[in-house]
Amino acid sequence: MAETNPKRSMDPNTGFCYQTGIYSSLNAPIPLPPTNQPLSVAEYCISLLHSTSTSGATTFVVNATTGQTLTYSQFVSQVRSLAYCLQKRYSLSQNDVAFILSPPSLHIPVLYFALMSLGIIVSPANPLGSNSEIAHQIQLSKPAIAFATSQTSHKIPSLKRGTILLDSPEFLSLLTQSNIDNNTIKPVKVNQSDLAAILYSSGTTGRVKGVMMTHRNLIAMMAAIHHSNTTEGNVSDKPPQSVTFFTVPLFHVFGFFMLLGAVLSADTVVLMERFEFEEMLRAVEKYKITDMPVSPPLVVAFVKSDLTKKYDLSSLQMLGCGGAPLGQEVARQFNEKFPNVLLVQGYGLTETTGGATRVIGPEEAARYGTVGRLSENMEAKIVDPVTGEALPPGQRGELWLRGPIVMKGYVGDEKATAETLDSEGWLKTGDICYFDSEGFVYIVDRLKELIKYKAYQVPPAELEHLLHSHPEIADAAVIPYPDEEAGQIPMAYVVRNPGSSITEAQVMDFIARQVAPYKKIRRVAFINSIPKSPAGKILRRELVNHSVSGGLSKL
């Protein structure tokens, strides 16, 4: 810390200190376990689960697609059984990486907890990823073993300890070993500084990166959830038993930390193997869903769809929106249509283990456009991208964050780590933001060039690389194009080779065959040349302006 007492000259309204240029959280710090205490995030969550008044018969997970359920006592015994078998039969050792490629199921939470309790690093990826994307992720994380399904396993190369199919009798037998108590399992000393997970993100630029998360990062995130359950939970009329429908994937940071948080809170989680809007509405009615983590496109669907009138959604109390900025108008329309549902926003990155800021309660939720205030134990700076100067409230600059939830770095990529994390532990988010006079954070724009399609990150560089590989394409640039439903869609500007008559459909099809569905190019314009700076950098802003003005201004 720059000062012995950073609170000394801190503005109590904004958390800003004029001496250091640092914003501190306005919330009191949350105590965390001593750093030198060996503790895995799995052990931390399960110990808090045991301290709740929940009975083991409470339902933990429901698969809305199949109707299967898992109680908390079944969950804990399956975690024990699987941990024992993985130790005994597969000779997995601490700090090995386990790659996971599977749609949501009851097995995923059991798998995450069993692996992390043994100090094995969990690395889940999108089961819809293309073969080349999966190959790149495996190259980054270097897993010893993989867990997949009979549908996804063909995408995984042969690994040292092989691939276990989650839908096989072999795997099911690993969950039901009887006579296992804590003494049967060889104790593993997991340090909080050890890696717990490698999640995939595009970072602030370029290709997909593997974000290294420590047990400490996740424990700090879980401590914040536990704190809000025990304090904020008493303020609102939150029922003791929350039923949360997961619309966000379990391999994405949002779903990942929400799943861990559900365990320590003893909530019931409802999953769906393949998301479908009307099926989700049916599940809200059937399971009396109270909470949902959502991305902005889903809020738009709630606002626009008449299907919402067909179902009884009266159990819904709160939607937590993240993954991309939510338009003020959409938030307003949602509140008009669903006055009894609290819609709150938060902000975070894979690199910050999820939530770095959040909105708390109805009063803050009524401030449209903000992603809330800094979470407990967090510090921030707003840095002028040109001068590097730390800016006071009301001024826009790049948001830098520091705190116990900031990642360890990018796996196998020291250069990207050094560009994103400085020597003092500040994470450069690549987002242009400002703090208002009451310490609320607003996201204005992105320094980074990522396209946010729904809550997914699409790096233009990756798509441009593929476009350049087409024999009929001379040059190409990919930009975000505004879309009400998805937030942004990838749009390509393409320069044809002389004599080529390649069509929009052919360009889109060429990319669609090589990438996951969310990365598809959904709009194409042909152009004579791509505008570039003298150094050869694509002038994306010109293309964005051109696309939005309907191409009337000639480039």
Rg (CA), the chain: 24
Q: Give the model's pLDDT for residue 3.
A: 43
> What value, to the nearest 5°, has the Cα angle with vertex 331 and ends 326 and 333?
140
- In whole angstroms, how far apart are CA 257 and each of 48, 184, 215, 225, 260? 15, 29, 12, 10, 5
Q: φ, ψ for residue 45 (rounded to 5)?
A: -65, -45
Q: Residue 235: which pLDDT band, with cuts at 50, 70 and 90?
A: very low
At 117 the pLDDT is 96
pLDDT of residue 459: 77
Q: Report pTM.
A: 0.83
Six-digit token string for 62: 């429901």
Is 70-190 in CATH node 3.40.50.980? yes
Mean pLDDT for 264-288 is 95
Average pLDDT, the chain: 89
pLDDT band, residue 232 (cuts 50/70/90): low
The share of the chain scoring above pLDDT 90, in percent, equals 68
- So what's the pLDDT on residue 299? 87
CA atoms within 13 A on the CB side of 33: 23
Q: How far apart are the first and last CA of the chain?
A: 49
| 3-class SS of residue 492 | strand
Sign of CA dihedral 201, 203, 207, 212: negative
16-17 β-sheet, strand order: 16-17, 22-24, 379-383, 397-402, 427-435, 441-446
- Bridge pairing between strands 195-201 and 209-214: antiparallel
Res 458: pLDDT = 84
pLDDT of res. 451: 86
pLDDT at 329 over 80: no
Cα 189 from chain centre: 28
Q: What is the per-residue pLDDT across 345-400, written as a single tens digit (0 to 9) for each?
A: 999 999 999 889 999 999 999 998 899 999 999 999 999 988 999 999 999 899 99
Question: Are the beta carbons of 110 and 68 closer than 8 angstroms?
Answer: no
Q: Give the domain ranges of the chain.
A: 70-190, 451-548
301 versus 99: the higher-pLDDT residue is: 99
Residue 554: the pLDDT is 44
DSSP assignment letter at 421: B
Q: Is the pLDDT of residue 472 over 70?
A: yes
pLDDT for 537 equals 60
Do residues 46 and 113 lie in contact, with contact meaning Cβ atoms separated by under 8 Å?
yes
Instruction: Indicate the CATH number for domain 451-548.
Output: 3.30.300.30
198 or 273: which carries more pLDDT confidence?
198
* Helix H or strand E segment including 334: helix 328-337
Higher-pLDDT residue of 292 and 326 is 292
pLDDT tens figures, 473-503: 888 899 999 998 899 999 999 999 889 999 9
What is the predicted pLDDT for the residue at 309? 96
H/E segment holding residue 526:
strand 523-526
Q: Which one is predicted more confidently, 47 or 239?
A: 47
Residue 183: band (very low, low, confident or very high) from pLDDT cuts 50, 70, 90: low
Nearest partner of 430 among 206, 180, 145, judged by Cα: 206
Q: What percent of the chain has pLDDT over 70?
A: 92
Please check the confidence at residue 532 and state whether its pLDDT lies above 80. no
pLDDT in tens, 411-449: 999 999 999 999 999 999 998 899 999 999 998 766 767
Query: In the predicted model, is pLDDT for residue 271 greater than 90?
Result: yes
Partnered with residue 348 across adjacent β-strands are 355
